[in-house]
Structure 1
């Protein structure tokens, strides 16, 4: 009886040790263990290895697809700052406070250069309307240069964003990533755009 208990204890300890080893390997490498991830409900989370510094989860957002790689947006934010385009930002001197946020969101082609004291200098995500894409393309070196780490999320109606060669805006974006391969340009999927349109109509009573 005593031998049986000892054997069960050894088996239990071995199982726990093996499980912990799998967890450690999973957290320090980009190896996928679907069953373990399912246990924790994190099937769409990718972990950055410890060698990259503090471990942070990157969540996959399937409503936003990279124009070049066709992969979903990987992003996770803790504290967000959504910066308005309004001229009322001038003179506010909140740039340093904004830059403390883990993610900083800006709209369209709102400038930061020359206004750092008021609006900050960092940009994590820039949400751009399909009608504002030409404004960005007037100054591509500023927005899409190699050192720019900003994620661009472009939204617009399907007729402009279609990928069959007839989407005017999508064609512009394709040419942009050809010229600037490091540019992180994403577009909303048709499903995500339909959802956003439905929310807009529900809250305003108007079609976009």
Structure 2
């Protein structure tokens, strides 16, 4: 009888512990649910103001308000959103072009989509109607045949795995010279570099890591590995139909290569791991030129590689910084254009770009907190 009573007592205790465990689990789920609901409320409020195109500012150091002066909450509320996420969502009303179907690189699939009518997306229409550097009109077959040489065409998954991906676009401007921010640059998750800019002798100022390097035939490094990492993603930016021909010839190692039609003679040999090569979607250039800078189509000008790279970064990353942007003023005859030049560079290489429009747009993005410039004081000074 005693043993039976003991067994019953043990069973009751076990059931009691089981009930307590279930209650604890229920309380935990309830807390999680409340946290998610609170976060949803904050983000929903954030989204409504973003859709209205309002800019969030801080007044008195405590309250966040929109452009109309309406309170959005105190600093404690906004702390839950996080600085990285705030900078990301702020971009929407200013850049006005985030689309779920946006593809940074050309793929065989994107070429096939041009065969469907009517076009489902603006991206497809732009690619079909515009010539390079903004579209593939009259260059579709050339682009498609070049893509067949690339075993990998999409954005690598490693570039989209982080919740708060910090990226930096390192420009080639002289403003980064002597700044000694190399370690700060290398601390970013993704580091985007431009053209043939060297890093070896200048790592104190520009760092030494390279995640992505944008280039075109005239700016290609003869030996890419000398100033890039083994896993660097080399992104080819086509500006004219001849550019696709150059890329096919160097990949196929053609003996008699085309030499005419380039404003500067490109390398005759270019060796790189082909699986780490991508072709930039011309829509990225179109977007940077007409939607960000809002240049006039009749001007015949287009965005610099730096702005194109920045547009790419704004799509890939939640936090975007820049360094080494800006050019010497028109009356400045002593400051070099690039950080790696001992003498003055030829400014006639820049005639196809609107440097004033780029400077104004960059300053506006910095002022609004969309991007941050690690060399802001020199950037602004050199453009006055």
Question: For this structure pair, what is the TM-score category when the shorter chain's length is used for normalisation?
Answer: 0.5 to 0.7
Partner residue, 2:66: none
Residue from 202, 226, 249 that aligns with 1:142: 226
Partner residue, 1:73: 155
**What's the offset of the Cα at 1:161?**
4.1
SS of structure 2 residue aligned to 1:172: helix
SS of structure 2 residue aligned to 1:131: helix
Residue from 141, 150, 153 that aligns with 2:235: 153
Partner residue, 2:294: 202
Instruction: State how far apart, in whole Å, the 1-side matches of 2:247 and 2:274 are.
Output: 19
Instruction: State how far apart, in whole Å, the 2-side matches of 1:149 and 1:182 are.
Output: 11
**What's the offset of the Cα at 1:140?**
4.2
Higher-Rg structure is: 2
Partner residue, 1:64: 105
Q: Does 1:168 align with 2:266?
A: no
TM-score w.r.t. the length of structure 1 is 0.54
Instruction: State how far apart, in whole Å, the 1-side matches of 2:239 and 2:292 are.
Output: 14
Q: Are the aligned partners of 2:190 and 2:211 in contact in 1 as well (CA < 8 Å)? A: yes
**What's the offset of the Cα at 1:143?**
4.9
Q: C-alpha offsets along residues 86-113 of structure 1, whole Å, 9 cap, x if unaligned?
A: 1221210001111110001111011110
Instruction: State how far apart, in whole Å, the 1-side matches of 2:204 and 2:212 are.
Output: 19
Structure-2 change in CA distance of 1:171 and 1:194 (3 Å): farther
Q: Are the aligned partners of 1:68 and 1:174 in contact in 2 as well (CA < 8 Å)? A: no
SS of structure 1 residue aligned to 2:197: coil
Matches within 5 A, 1:74-153: 74=156, 75-76=159-160, 78-133=165-220, 136-137=221-222, 139-143=223-227, 148-153=230-235
TM-score w.r.t. the length of structure 2 is 0.31
Q: Does 1:184 align with 2:276?
A: yes
**What's the offset of the Cα at 1:68?**
2.4
Instruction: State how far apart, in whole Å, the 2-side matches of 1:72 and 1:201 are.
Output: 27
Question: Which protein, 1 or 2, shows the higher relative CO under an 8 Å CA cutoff with sep ≥ 6?
Answer: 2
**What's the offset of the Cα at 1:186?**
1.1
Aligned-CA RMSD value: 3.5
Matches within 5 A, 1:35-54: none
Greater share of residues in strand: 1
Q: Which moved more, 1:153-162 or 1:96-105?
A: 153-162
SS of structure 2 residue aligned to 1:202: coil
**Runs of 4+, deviation exceeding 6 Å:** none
SS of structure 1 residue aligned to 2:199: coil
SS of structure 2 residue aligned to 1:115: helix
Q: Which moved more, 1:177-186 or 1:94-103?
A: 177-186
Q: Which runs of 5+ in 2 are unaligned?
A: 1-100, 107-146, 254-267, 303-384
Q: Which runs of 5+ in 1 are unaligned?
A: 1-59
Structure-2 change in CA distance of 1:161 and 1:120 (3 Å): same
Instruction: State how far apart, in whole Å, the 2-side matches of 1:150 and 1:90 are.
Output: 23
Instruction: State how far apart, in whole Å, the 1-side matches of 2:169 and 2:155 are.
Output: 18
